[in-house]
């Protein structure tokens, strides 16, 4: 699943609204990004073509709805990062995410529970290509 950063902004609105119009998306994104209606419509067209969003004509307007959940998209991002980063660097990515983002006490407790339940290995094998090996 390839979603550009701009498309993610549109998707975040669609996920939160569950069903919305291009006009509503434009209004919500206009202040933050100064995007025009045509920019939003272009992004929506791409998302429909990627089968990430569906559209339904209602009267003289189109309603946009997600075909993939936000949770599934987040898992796809996680898998994408895991595929792009050397296996030895994954702990660094996780630590950076923890340090760079706000977490509630419940979030921290959940993370600690997950870490305590995680099976530990003796050594992590580098999966870099030999010519790019920097570990």
The answer to whether position 73 is within a domain reads no
Distance CA 51, CA 37 (A): 21
Quick one: pLDDT band at residue 125, thresholds 50, 70, 90? Answer: confident
Q: Which of 38, 66, 94 is the last residue of a domain?
A: 66
Whether residue 29 sits in one domain with residue 56: yes
pLDDT at 133: 65
Quick one: pLDDT band at residue 2, thresholds 50, 70, 90? Answer: confident
pLDDT at 132: 64
pLDDT in tens, 11-43: 999 999 989 999 999 999 998 899 999 999 999
Distance CA 49, CA 4 (A): 13
- For the CA atoms of the chain, what is the radius of gyration? 19
User: What phi-psi label fits residue 47: left (phi over 0), alpha (psi between -120 and 50 degrees) or beta?
Assistant: alpha
**Residue 77's closest CA among 88, 66, 68?**
68
Where in the sequence is the domain holding 112, given as residue range(s)? 85-132
């Amino acid at each position: 699943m390839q979603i550009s950063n701009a498309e993610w902004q549109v998707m975040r609105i669609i996920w939160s609204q569950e069903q919305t119009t291009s006009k509503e998306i434009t209004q919500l994104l206009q202040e933050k990004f100064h995007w025009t209606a045509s920019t939003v419509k272009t992004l929506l067209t791409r998302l429909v073509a990627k089968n990430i969003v569906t559209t339904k004509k209602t009267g003289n307007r189109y309603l946009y709805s997600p075909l993939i959940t936000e949770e599934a998209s987040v898992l796809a991002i996680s898998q994408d990062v895991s595929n792009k980063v050397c296996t030895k660097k994954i702990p660094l990515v996780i630590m950076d995410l923890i340090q760079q983002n706000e977490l509630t006490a419940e979030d921290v407790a959940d993370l600690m529970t997950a870490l305590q339940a995680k099976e530990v290995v003796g050594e992590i094998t580098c999966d870099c290509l030999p010519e790019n090996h920097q570990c």
